[in-house]
Amino acid sequence: MTEEEKNHLIFGGVDVVELAERYGTPLYVTDENKLRVNLRSYKEAFETANTDTDIYYAVKANGNLALLTILASEGAGADVFSTGELWLTKSAGIPAEKILFNGNSKSDDDLRAAVESGVKISVDSKDELRALSVVAEELRKEVEIAIRVNPDVSPEVHPKIATGLKESKFGLPYYEVISACEEANKLPNIALTGLHCHIGSQILDVSVFSEATEKMMDLVEKLYEKGIALEFVDLGGGLGIAYKQEEKEIAPTPKDLAEAILPVFEKKMDELGINLKLVLEPGRSIVASTTILLSRINAVKRAYKNFVAIDAGFNLLIRPVMYDAYHEVLIANKINERVSELYTVVGPVCEAGDIIAKDRKLPSVERGDLVAILDAGAYGFSMSSQYNGRPRCAEVLVCNGEVDLIRSGESIEDLLRNQKIPARLR
Ligand code: LLP
């Protein structure tokens, strides 16, 4: 039978219906080639004669070790937000000089781990700055830092993922940045080398990146005038992707991002006669499109709505529930069949809000059919939980028709692991 006659979705050269039979469902499936292409498209877009750009992949989007190892082999650095993410990146072979430890609430243990590892730290408050100096002194190490700036720009995104508004919890208020830098320069064991911001996520209009670049470069100038020279400016991540078919036309590419940032960045460097490294921290735009989530239909119910109940819910993909996010869904074993009816695809979690896809036109479906949820590589597995006593699912990597298991699914024992019943209750 030809692939066409089989009516199956092929992903990374692999028939996903066979994958689901072999590994079970739910199952996250990542295409290695797409991952490499996505990272390379950033590198190509930012390759200019005047600016040296480093891509620090945002590990929070997807911290699978195999993916990190691939990104490391492509030369990526990393933005990490916890000591756990720091260890993941180190295990994947990302060099310390290409790691920035971010976060608005770092414990002494986090600061120690960062200083001992020799990574750069993005400092989120004056309080943290002082604590870090003490920790670095204790460890007799010098630590390179950036100041996290709240640039007060408002991208048009879901409020839960707009991080650069002045009310946001992240970064020093714009008016306090210069004094924080002056203080940093006087503190022992602190070497201020950069400024950092991140304005939000799933941004489809790149003009806000120009605005943020302007504001960051104004700070660079003010510092320069005070004799404080920097080495890099990190403009964070945030580039959006086309989750909906109709967004394909308008979704920006890394090239669009480069065109929004580089002219502003380079103009200021020219004016001041300085050379800075540009750092970017893309997460979603590197991994989202690389991955699908396969899920089996457990029941089709015709009620006030047509419900399709699948075996993956917000325990494995929380984005639709948390941000009203849209993910395209396909019926992977009926890929060429005509759409016929409106269905609402729901998960198995005992909450009415556990809806993966609302009112979608799908081919006529039945119990046992296989659903593919697209663009699930960013903030999918990494935000998963064991809610409702559901072990997390497996992840596989596909590449030109080859398949590798890159994370085993959890078992029921994993739900019990680490729990203890006090002896007096036995
Ligand atoms: N840098 C920093 C400091 C960040 O906080 C983030 C994301 C990134 C980089 C990467 O941003 P990206 O390129 O992925 O947009 N869970 C939400 C997104 C939360 C983003 C948190 N910070 C979602 O599923 O839409």
Rg, C-alpha atoms of the chain? 23
β-pair type (341-346, 355-362): antiparallel
Would you say the CB of residue 161 lies under 6 angstroms from ligand 1?
Answer: yes
Cα(48) to centroid of ligand 1, in Å? 26
Prior bond to 26 cis, omega within 30? yes
Distance of CA 293 to the CA centre of its chain: 16
Cα(206) to centroid of ligand 1, in Å? 16
Report the pLDDT value the prediction gives residue 163, as an integer from 0 to 100.
Answer: 74
Per annotation, catalytic residue among 197, 350, 393, 399:
350
Report the pLDDT value the prediction gives residue 3, as an integer from 0 to 100.
Answer: 64
Distance CA 241, CA 400 (A): 24
Helix axes 65-73, 83-91, angle to 10 degrees: 60
Give the pLDDT confidence of 99-119 residue by residue, as tens digits: 999 999 999 999 999 999 999
Report the pLDDT value the prediction gives residue 4, as an integer from 0 to 100.
Answer: 66
Torsion of CA 172, 173, 179, 185, to 10 degrees: 20
Distance CA 22, CA 17 (A): 9
- Amino acid residing at 5: E
Closest ligand 1 atom to the C-alpha of 237? Answer: 13
Mean pLDDT of successive 10-residue stretches along the chain, which has 426 residues? 82 98 98 98 93 97 98 98 98 98 98 98 98 98 98 82 81 96 97 97 96 98 97 98 92 97 97 98 98 98 96 98 98 96 97 97 98 98 98 98 98 96 96
243-274 in b/e form (b: 16+ CB < 10 A) is beeeeeeebbebebbbebbbebbbebbeeeee
Cα(58) to centroid of ligand 1, in Å? 7
DSSP 237: -
Closest ligand 1 atom to the C-alpha of 318? Answer: 24
CB contact set of 300 (below 8 Å; sequence gap of 6+): 306, 307, 308, 309, 343, 365, 366, 367
Cα(392) to centroid of ligand 1, in Å? 22
Report the pLDDT value the prediction gives residue 26, as an integer from 0 to 100.
Answer: 98
Catalytic residue status for 350: yes
Would you say the CB of residue 288 lies under 6 angstroms from ligand 1?
Answer: no
Q: Residue 220: which of 147, 159, 112 has the closest Cα?
A: 147
Cα(132) to centroid of ligand 1, in Å? 24
Distance CA 170, CA 154 (A): 14
Would you say the CB of residue 56 lies under 6 angstroms from ligand 1?
Answer: no
Distance CA 298, CA 303 (A): 16
Report the pLDDT value the prediction gives residue 160, as an integer from 0 to 100.
Answer: 76
- CB of 265 closer than 8 Å to CB of 213: yes
Cβ neighbour number for residue 366 with a 10 Å cutoff: 11
**Residue 172: phi, psi to the nearest 5?**
-80, 145
Helices and strands: H and E segment counts in the chain: 13, 20
11-49 in b/e form (b: 16+ CB < 10 A) is bbebbbbebbeebebbbbbbbbebbbebbeebeebbeee
Closest ligand 1 atom to the C-alpha of 240? Answer: 15
- CB of 170 closer than 8 Å to CB of 162: no
Cβ neighbour number for residue 386 with a 10 Å cutoff: 12
Give the pLDDT confidence of 20-38 residue by residue, as tens digits: 999 999 999 999 999 999 9
> Which residue has a Cα nearest atom 16 of ligand 1?
379
Distance CA 242, CA 169 (A): 28
Would you say the CB of residue 58 lies under 6 angstroms from ligand 1?
Answer: yes
Question: For 271-317, where are the E strands, in sequence order?
Answer: 277-280, 291-302, 306-310
Report the pLDDT value the prediction gives residue 167, as an integer from 0 to 100.
Answer: 86
